Amino acid sequence: MHYHTANQRAVETGSRRFAKERQRMKAGGIDLIESRIPSHKTMNLIDFMRYLLVRRTDWDRRKEFYSHPAHTRWKWHAFINRQKSESDLISNMRNKYGDNFTVVMGDWSDAGRTARFQTSSKTKGWRTLFKRNRINCFLLDEYKTSSVCPHCLASSADFLEKGFKTRPHSRPWRRREGKIEKVHGLLGCTNPNCQQAWTMRYWNRDTLSTCNMLMIVQSMLDGHGRPEVFRRGVPVVA
């Protein structure tokens, strides 16, 4: 299995480091100016006019800030690093799978639904990258792929348990307050026919989804179509 995570991409492109440097520069007063600018996402004409007026009021100060050579340098380095990161990814995949392989990815799109402080999923970008490198890429409906045990095909409604494990909060300030959070990325299958000798069978949610997508693709290649357990409108029976 080949891993390429959002964190790895952030490190390779330097996007996180550049964002932190930009925020340090904004601490000189630009952050306060931009915090006073109302949202432009409105259908109310008066509110949008207020946004334009406030934005124009401090335009000279913000123009001076964003004209600093550092912004151009960061943008250029981010572009170069992104090109290198994507080139390395394609090279690594070809070294591992050969020149002729096909990529199947979920059709999930988080446009407009990304939680604050979270990295959005790169979907259209990956498809463009693969097309540019002449790699076949197909989208697959992700329905139920992260809620069915690939070993016994039990569903989350019957035997797949979630939210049973907790850990110190992933946010540093929450962790300092002693907060804990549920591990949503870990699932456990409690089906008696699926349990291991010593405990329930544990699944990482991403690995679970990948295994199920592989099962769907293999079934379709064998001419059996999409397995019933992953079809929309078909009840799951463990």
- Which helix (H) or strand (E) segment holds residue 187: the answer is strand 186-189
**Would you say how long the chain is, in residues?**
238
Q: Give the closest residue to 205 by CA, choosing from 226, 183, 190, 227.
A: 183
Structural contact between residues 190 and 163, judged by C-beta atoms closer than 8 angstroms: no
This prediction has a pTM of: 0.68
Q: Report the first-to-last Cα separation within the chain, whole angstroms.
A: 28
Helix (H, G, I), strand (E, B) or coil at 101: coil
Check pLDDT > 50 for residue 157. Answer: yes
Partnered with residue 187 across adjacent β-strands are 162, 203
pLDDT tens across 36-69, in order? 888 888 899 999 999 999 989 888 888 988 899 9
In degrees, to the nearest 5, what angle opens at C-alpha 126 toward C-alphas 99 and 22? 130
- Euclidean distance between CA atoms 21 and 24, whole angstroms: 5
Quote the mean pLDDT of the chain.
Answer: 83
CB atoms within 10 A of CB 105: 16
Domain ranges for the chain, please list them: 140-238
Spatial CB neighbours of 186, under 8 Å, sequence gap ≥ 6 = 162, 165, 202, 203, 204, 205
pLDDT band at 184 (very low <50, low <70, confident <90, very high): confident
pLDDT band at 238 (very low <50, low <70, confident <90, very high): very low
Mean pLDDT to the nearest integer, 191-206:
77
